[in-house]
Amino acid sequence: MIKMFTARTSEIDEINEAISEIKSQIDFDALKKNSGGIIFCHIDFIESGMVAALCKELPFNIIGMTSMVGADEHGYGLYDLTLTVLTSDEVSFEVGMTGSINQNNYEKEIDQLYNNIRSKVKDDPAMIFTFMPYIRDVSGYEVVAAMDKSCKGIPMWGSITNNIDFNYETVQTICNEKTLAAGVGMMFVNGSINPKFIVSSIPERNIANNRARITKSKGAVLYEVNDMPILEYLANIGLVITKENITTTPLMVYYGDAEEPVALGFYTLFEDGSILTGGEMPVGTSFAVGSIDKEGIFESAEDGLKRIQDIEDRQVTLMLPCVTRYIMLSPDQESELRLIKEELTKSGHPFMMGYSGGEICPMPGKDGKLHNRFHNYTFCACVI
C-alpha cells in the first residue's frame, strides 16, 4: 500500500514561510517506513533557493521539474510549487540524477545513473518515475530509448521539463538539493505494485482517414512520404506547414509493434524542406495527420479522467497532460485545469498534475507487454 499526500505554496522569496506552509499540509506522523517526493514548480522557486532549502528540510528524497502549471486537489497556479509525498511500509523509493547530458554522453550518463541506483536496491524496480531535460541536440525519444535500453524495458512514466518560457531557456530538473538544466532524474519504485498507465490522445474524429507511408527519414527527421517531399504531401492534403504553425499539427504514428497509434508533433522546419518530429520515423511506418482543437482536448481529458475514476481503489494519481494543450486552450487556458480539479476532488482521493513538455508513458504492444513510448499532445496519467 502507498499513501499519498500533497502540499502547495505560492510563496517564493520568504523561504522559511514557504517551508512552514508546505510542512503544515503534510501529516508527518502518518509517514511510513519509506517515503519519496515529487515536485512541480515555476523556475523562480529554484532561482530563489526555495527548492534546495525545502529538499534539505524534508526527511526523504525528492525528484521533480519545472512545469508550466502545478495542480493538486487544493488548487493550481502558474507561479506555484506543488509537492507530492508517496509513503509506504512495503514500497521503497530511491532517486538519482545524471550530470548534464548532451549528444556525446547521454547514453553513458543514463546507463551510469540507472546502474548506480540499481546497486542501492535489492531487486529491479516495479517502475521508474523520470524527468528529462529539453535540449536541442538530443530529442526526447532518444533519451527515452536510452533509458529503456538501460532499464531493459521496466515501465517508465514522466515528462520533459518545461516552464512558462516557451523557448525552454529556463527549464530545470530537480533531484534533492541539486538542479540541472540538462539533467535526467529517476525515482525507482520498488515493491509489489500494479501501476496503471493511461494515455488519451487525439479523438478518432480528429484523425484523417488516409494514411501515408514514410519513404525517407533519418531518426526523427521526415524527408519523404509516399515517395514525395513531406511538405508537398502535406500541401496535397490541404495542410501548409510554416514555422509559425508547425507545432499545431499532430501526427498519429502507427508503429508496427504498437496496439494503438502514438501522437507526435512537428518540431522544426528545416531549410531543405525536411521536418524534425517528436519521435522516431522508421521507413515503412504509416501515419495519419490529426488536428487538435478545444473540443478534442476536452474529449481526451474527459476520457482520461473517466479511466482514472474507474480505478476505485487508487492510492496514487499523477497526471502529465501536454503543455501544448494549455497553450491551445487560449483565451481560457485554465479550462482543462478546472475540469481536472472539479472531477477528481469529488472522490476525495489526492492527485497531482503538471504540464509536460513531452510525455513519457508505456503503452501495450501487440505482444501483450508494455512498451515505453514518448508522446506529444496527450493526456497521460499514472495510477497506483
Give the 3-state DSSP-derived string for the chain, with helices as H, strands as E and coil as C. Answer: CCEEEEEEECCCCCHHHHHHHHHHCCCHHHCCCEEEEEEEECHHHHHCCHHHHHHHHCCCEEEEEECCCEEECCEEECCCEEEEEEEECCCEEEEEECCCCCCCCHHHHHHHHHHHHHCCCCCCCCEEEEEECCECCECHHHHHHHHHHHHCCCCEEEEECCCCCCCCCCCCEEECCEEECCCCEEEEEECCCCCEEEEECCCHHHECCCCEEEEEEECCEEEEECCEEHHHHHHHCCCCCCCCCHHHCEEEEECCCECCCEEEEEEEECCCCCEEECCCCCCCCEEEEECCCHHHHHHHHHHHHHHHHCCCCCCCEEECCEHHHHHHCCCCCCHHHHHHHHHHHCCCCCCEEECECCEEEEEEECCCCEEEEEECCCEEEEEC
For residue range 28-51, what is the model confidence (pLDDT) as tens digits? 999 999 999 999 999 999 999 999
| pLDDT confidence of residue 145 | 95
- Close Cβ partners of 285 (under 8 Å, ≥ 6 residues apart): 213, 214, 253, 254, 255, 256
- Global confidence as pTM: 0.94
| pLDDT confidence of residue 166 | 63
For residue range 154-174, what is the model confidence (pLDDT) as tens digits? 999 999 999 887 666 789 999
Block means of pLDDT (10 residues each) for the chain, 384 residues, are: 96 96 96 98 96 97 96 94 98 98 96 98 97 85 95 97 78 96 97 96 90 95 96 92 82 89 90 91 95 92 96 96 91 94 92 96 92 95 98
- Please, what are the domains in the chain? 3-200+296-383 (no CATH), 204-291 (2.40.10)
| pLDDT confidence of residue 264 | 93
193, three cell numbers: 505494485
| pLDDT confidence of residue 168 | 67
| pLDDT confidence of residue 246 | 79
